[in-house]
Amino acid sequence: MKKLIIPIFSAAVWMSCGTAKVSHDTKPAQTASSSSISDKAFQTAYKMIKADDLKKNLYVIASDEMEGRDTGSPGQKRAGVYMINYYKSLGISYPKALGSYYQKVPADFMKKRGGGNLPDSENILAFIEGSEKPDEIVVVSAHYDHVGTKNGVVYNGADDDGSGTVAVMEIAKAFQSAKKAGNGPKRSILFLHVTGEEHGLFGSEYYTDNPVFPLANTVVDLNIDMIGRDDPENRGKQYVYVIGSEMLSSELKMINEAANNKTNKLELNYKYDDPKDPEGLYYRSDHYNFAKNNVPVAFFFDGIHEDYHKPTDDVEKIDYSLLEKRAQLVFATAWEVANRPARIVVDRK
């Protein structure tokens, strides 16, 4: 996650933000659900997301070989190749209009936005086409860059955002397994791994400035940035922070809470939805570039822990059981948004 707060604060964006801090349960969303696709199909796909598989991939993505995955670095490119080969092994391709898994993010684009002398880099996009509403796009995103190597020490970024990266990969596997069983999503799913987040949300900004699919057709962005640890305030709890889920849509928060109630019943903590919160987290990860373009978002996050942006953010400290549950929640939310008869509303500004 980007360390510095972006100095762009709009009170209007926060007007619909609730004051509730934690939710353990909720009534189901009061809108049409995805009942036309069986609960059995959902459960079968949902169970494809496993702690052991998340761990296996994270031990590669956050290894010393990847050299901290700094934007445009050889280590980040190696991580990207690993991710692409994973998608190929699952039979998940890329958007046809793009022509490959790569969307180049030019150095000049980043430099004009304060990116210094960063080299060219790439977003990585994998794609499952919807069966009934292929032009409507559900985005599941995470950044795969980190802060690189400093003074010969590798900052592996296992939680930030290796955890989100492997979660997106596992969510893709779950959707692909459903598709192979004849239960593919009605709407298309874009699995978006963005670059340059740590330097200024560059990859997501480049995508929203140059979308492969029109933003007008983009239903939601479910963004995952750090979901493998706990913070001191919630030590030992089964929780996740959810940020922004009711900023633009009155339905998305209800859908996410209903998905949570159906699955692992985590504590949904809304502390950082508070417009007065000094951390300003709504503005600090890649969902914000979708939100500012009027696309509903939900940001899933574990908090600021003691190893944040330190070389001690390593794979051994990840809670893989909790990572599994949080990834399953994002999948369950994406499943509902992708399969419900009507597109979720955008009714807040």
pLDDT (tens digit per residue) in 313-329 = 999 999 999 999 999 99
Does 246 score more than 70 pLDDT?
yes
Task: Give the separation between CA 162 and CA 63, rounded to whole angstroms.
Answer: 10
Rounded mean pLDDT of the chain? 92
CB 162 within 8 A of CB 65: no
8-state DSSP, 236: T
Q: In Å, how far from its chain's centre is CA 98?
A: 21
Task: Select from 86, 9, 2 the least CA-distant residue to 278.
Answer: 9
Task: Give the separation between CA 92 and CA 85, rounded to whole angstroms.
Answer: 10
8-state DSSP, 84: H
Task: Give the separation between CA 119 and CA 110, rounded to whole angstroms.
Answer: 9
What average pLDDT does this structure show over 236-252? 97
Does 207 score more than 60 pLDDT?
yes
> Which of the four pLDDT bands, split at 50, 70 and 90, describes residue 38?
confident
Please provide residue 333's backbone torsions phi and psi, each rounded to the nearest 5 degrees: -70, -45
Please provide residue 286's backbone torsions phi and psi, each rounded to the nearest 5 degrees: -70, -20
Classified as helix, coil or strand, 216 is helix
